[in-house]
Amino acid sequence: MEKALYVSEMESFGRSYKAIVIGASGGIGFAVKEALQSDTACAYVEAVSRKTHTSFDLEDERSIAVLADRLNDQLGDIDLVIVATGALTVNEAGPEKALKGLDPSIMAKAFAINAIGPALILKHFHKVLPRKRRCVVAALSARVGSIGDNRLGGWYSYRASKAALNQLIRTAAIEIGRTRKDAVCAAIHPGTVETSLSAPFAPGRVVKPDEAATNILRTLDGLRPSDTGGFFAFDGKPIAW
């Protein structure tokens, strides 16, 4: 059987590292899970989604806490946690093009999925990270969440919720680093990927999910504790806040 075109082999964790991918039913999350399973150094991958874990709900804190405790009891310390959740279209409404399109219920839902959910994952899953060796927790963000890089406007709810996610990652990195000196906490922009989320809004170049997964894992593999709290593109380059 031929190997996939893009295969990622992570080196910074050593042998027999364990990983969790939350949001593994999405295009990018699924590809990340597949790439990790192809890595001979990876001893175990837990793919989390509402399809595989029916009681898991990103908007239900108790379900997140229960899952974190169960996986910690089952697997012990986890070296790599990737949060690949997110929503660009909410309740069938796409990104707002102007202020007149703002809907408070849509905005609240966008924040619940893109910022609050990942924050609750950080709250409960940071406890499964090892204290005395390298570990990484990363969440998929988006370049449009950059305030400094915003030159086109629009996309209010998505931009703001991803900017909130970036701040949450930055803040969590400081706290996590106090007890886990070798930890890296990062926000990652995956690029424009050929998925159902981005397809309607991607007129330019897009990459296949397996290529995006390789780029993401390669970037995470290269980050060091001094990079914790950072916002990075798929190619490892920092993005302005």
Let me know if 89 is exposed, middle or buried by CB neighbors in 10 A (0-12, 13-18, 19+): middle
How is the beta sheet containing 42-48 ordered, strand by strand?
Answer: 42-48, 17-22, 80-83, 135-140, 183-189, 231-233
Q: Which domains does the chain have, with CATH numbers?
A: 17-233 (3.40.50.720)
CB 217 within 8 A of CB 8: yes
Tokens of 215: 């780029």
**The pTM is what?**
0.92
pLDDT score recorded for residue 4: 47
User: Going residue by residue through the chain (241 aa), what tens digit of pLDDT does each one get?
Assistant: 344 445 568 999 999 999 999 999 999 999 999 999 999 999 999 999 988 998 999 999 999 999 999 999 999 999 999 999 999 999 989 999 999 999 999 999 999 999 999 999 999 999 999 999 999 999 999 999 999 999 999 999 999 999 999 999 999 999 999 999 999 999 999 999 886 665 556 556 688 999 999 999 999 999 999 999 999 999 999 999 9
